[in-house]
Structure 1
Amino acid sequence: MPWCAGRRRACAGPRPRAGWRSPGPSSTGCGGCRRGPCALAAAGRTKAAARDRRRRAMVAEPKRMARRRPAAALALAALLAVGEAAGVEGRLEWAQRVTLGFAVGGVVERVAVRAGDRVRAGALLARLDTRPFDARVRELAARAEALVPELEEARRERDRTEALYERAVIAEHERQLAHIAYARA
């Protein structure tokens, strides 16, 4: 049986094309088919129309809640309005959506929460694989250790140059060059 977009229920009218929007309920029917059970229901001449009026009255309260919980209100309204239908078309939306990011890029090793879990501020949500970072730290530590002898050599050369300058054996320029070499090391 075709689907009536205006009344959101099955009816005898033609099924609209994809992307077509119904003008909504009207006095001659649902706005989509304008004939069949929807037209009779709109005129209030069937038992189904009376049942629909009662259901609409019951849906009024959930519609007030719809501003706060659109997904729950949509599901409740669809069940009340459709009743016997085999399936419900709809779209669920997040109540609140937050974009997460890490300070550095990497591969996610473990996700600590599941969809729907409540979390507190500062709680662990996901852990990155630290192996690439650990390797880089070890590499930099090795380079720093390799530079220690150069620093010691530059310090000894600076001290020797300072002693020679005090005895007036070398010029001021050579003393400054030794200080610059130590600062670079």
Structure 2
Amino acid sequence: MREISMYSKSRDITLVAILAVVIAISGTFKLPGLIPGTEFQMSAPIAIGICATFGFKRYITAGVLASVINLLMGTHTILNVIVAMVFRIVAGSIIGYLGTGLIIVSMAGPIGTIVGRVAMSYIVGTPIKVLLAAALPGMIYTLLSSYFIYKAIDKIVKKTPYKNYNKNLNIG
């Protein structure tokens, strides 16, 4: 029985490490916006898909590790990490409590972004309307793509040795 438990722990650690790298790397990919400053980070819908597939605990652990990776690589600042963690806690909590229905998964990212921008507004003193206007294109991308990315991740995971690790929280 001890070997199975150790195997399970090793697999869990490996999974979280892989998820952390996926979140960290996807945060470096940005789609340009129509107006400068409105670029869209691919990590938002990917992070939502990871949370919906693997659950809040693995998602938040991977998110913290991704933030450490990005800080060490110099691709994020402390402000980026604070905003990302606010996003992760809010969006992840929404999915964790309300499930993985279409509307919930689609709305979790934009709601997390709004709360993250409110936090940023308090920290840097920029008016919230300006920050939300800059984030609006990305929020729309996230709204439209999160559920499809979640379903794609879920489908892929079901064909791997990690198929028992996905959380099916079809509550909402």
Structure showing the higher helix proportion among its residues: 2
Task: Give the alignment's TM-score, normalised by structure 2.
Answer: 0.28
Task: Give the alignment's TM-score, normalised by structure 1.
Answer: 0.27
